[in-house]
Structure formats: C-alpha cells, structure tokens
Amino acid sequence: MRARTVWESFGFAFAGLRYAWRTQRNLRIHTAITVMVVILAGLLRFDALRWAILVLTIALVWAAELLNTALEAVVDLTSPYPHPLARIAKDVSAGMVLLCAIAAILVGLALFGPALWALLNP
C-alpha cells in the first residue's frame, strides 16, 4: 500500500507504533526505562551533548525493537510452520535488540555514572 500524501505516511507510521506498543511487551519495558532515564537526565541537568547522545541511544534501542517486530511479522508470514531458518532469523533479530540494549547500558553508565558518583560521594 502506497501513501498518497505525507500525512497518510505519518498515519501508517503511527499505526506501526501503535501495533508494536499493543503487541510487544519489550517495547513497553523500553518505554518505562526511557521515561525513568529522561527524568533522571533532567534532574542531573544534562548538557546538550549528553542529551543528544542519550536521545540517539534511546532511538537506537527503540529502532532495533521495531525492526525486530517487523522481521518477526515477515518471518511469520513467509514461514507459518516451524522452520530452522525462520528460527535463526528470529533469534538473530532478538540478538540485535539485546546487543543494542547492552550498548545502551554502557552508554548510560558513561553518561550517568560520573554525575551519580559525585552525588553519592560528596
């Protein structure tokens, strides 16, 4: 299906986000973590560079989760019965999300660690 207008394109994109929100528990977990991290960054008064790094890191994890959801849907469509290659595709896609989440934790430690350490050790 091709969008006839830019607004229709946005509608399709928001429909995809709604679908992922309704069906993917991990996306809701990422959302809760995102909210907590953004609040903490605000309390710690992150500068523009730290905010930029944080936003890009959050976007990376969310994009990986959305890509994983899309790939799983395509695999389910093309392989309705269990197949070793379908499993590999799904497992590798889940591994991508895990890798991005681990990277996000490491970035978070670099961004939040010094400020939190300073607060805990005055």
For position 115, which CATH number holds?
Answer: 1.10.287.3610
pLDDT at 120: 85
Domain count, the chain: 1
pLDDT for res 29: 96
- The catalytic residue positions are 65
Distances (CA, A) of 120 to 63, 65, 109: 33, 33, 15
Q: Which residues of the chain have pLDDT under 70?
A: none
CA distance 33 to 104: 11
The structure's pTM equals 0.89
Residue 1 maps to a domain: no
CA distance 88 to 48: 40
Domain assignment present for residue 102? The answer is yes
